[in-house]
């Protein structure tokens, strides 16, 4: 989507705030012993309370309001009766629609007590996201996003998951550019356009480079020996910077 009117920007900011607040709310409800389905239902009720509709459910008939992934699951985890345990690495990806506009927001969390190595993985993944966002402005090469994500990952001894990445968003959950690599793809000659709405979501791993699809046809996993973290924002590309629309309200 290209933002063309003030109404477009207002609509994106509104749904962006809802998904960001929903992610923040869900992250604060995590407790050992609860199931991922119970956590998902809390998020679903939050979205409904604010008039929003689940993006994955609306677009793909996904069997949950939100994607919730545990440990070696990197993305698109299906909410289920699995119990969340102490020390789990949990990823929550919230995307939703309101008034014809979509926003997408995600984050990874450690269920206390966490290990230092998991906290470091989360810290580096946040750093990769922030560094890539700082590079965004109109007319820059699109692959500058993957360049910075991969650089931060490699400098800290991590790998990037190569077959999932960032994407366009706005009037649909996944729009052009459909795939923005989390690594430097020198063959990608596309440019960032002013007004373009995109996500940036690095998937940083302790050693994996690719994910496989589980038999449920949704959940994307690495080998069980790896951990993967993801953080994600939706933003509008401006002439000189990125305008993030998925910033939660202060707690």
- Say which CATH number the domain at 139 has: 3.90.230.10
Q: What is the pLDDT of residue 251?
A: 80
Does any domain span residue 249? Answer: no
Which residues, including other chains, have CB under 8 Å from residue 170's CB and lie 6 or more apart? 1, 3, 8, 12, 101, 102, 197
Q: What's the pLDDT tens digit per position in 148-169?
A: 999 999 999 999 999 999 999 9
Q: What pTM, to 2 d.p., does this model score?
A: 0.96
Residue pair 132/180 in contact (Cβ under 8 Å)? The answer is no
Does any domain span residue 1? Answer: no
In this model, does residue 213 exceed pLDDT 90?
yes
In this model, does residue 39 exceed pLDDT 90?
yes
Does any domain span residue 193? Answer: yes
Does any domain span residue 204? Answer: yes
Q: What's the domain range around 84? A: 6-244
- Residue 187 confidence class, pLDDT cut points 50, 70, 90: very high
In the DSSP assignment, the letter for residue 72 is T
Does any domain span residue 121? Answer: yes
Does any domain span residue 250? Answer: no
Q: What is the mean pLDDT of residues 18-46?
A: 98
Q: How far apart are CA 235 and CA 170, in angstroms?
A: 10
Mean predicted lDDT score pLDDT of the chain:
97
Number of folded domains that form the chain: 1
């Amino acid at each position: 989507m290209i933002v063309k009117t003030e109404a477009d920007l207002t609509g994106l900011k509104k749904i962006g705030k809802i998904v960001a607040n929903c992610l923040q709310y869900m992250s604060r409800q995590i407790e050992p012993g609860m199931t991922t389905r119970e956590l998902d239902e809390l998020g679903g009720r939050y979205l409904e309370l604010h008039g929003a509709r689940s993006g994955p459910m609306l677009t793909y008939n996904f069997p949950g309001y939100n994607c919730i992934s545990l440990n070696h699951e990197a993305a698109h985890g299906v909410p289920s009766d699995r119990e969340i345990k102490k020390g789990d690495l949990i990823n929550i990806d919230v995307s939703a629609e309101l008034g014809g506009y979509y926003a997408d927001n995600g984050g990874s969390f450690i269920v206390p007590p966490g290990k230092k190595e998991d906290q470091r993985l989360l810290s580096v993944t946040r750093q990769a996201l922030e560094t890539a966002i700082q590079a965004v402005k109109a007319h820059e090469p699109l692959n500058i996003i993957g360049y910075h994500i991969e650089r931060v990952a490699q400098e800290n001894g991590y790998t990037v998951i190569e077959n999932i990445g960032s994407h366009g968003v706005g009037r649909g959950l996944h729009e052009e550019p459909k795939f923005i690599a989390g690594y430097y793809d020198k063959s990608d000659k596309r440019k960032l356009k002013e007004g373009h709405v995109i996500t940036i979501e690095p998937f940083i791993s302790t050693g994996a480079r690719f994910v496989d699809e589980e038999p449920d046809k949704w959940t994307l996993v690495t080998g069980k020996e790896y951990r993967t973290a993801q953080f994600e924002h939706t933003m509008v590309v401006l002439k000189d910077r990125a305008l993030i629309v998925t910033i939660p309200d202060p707690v």
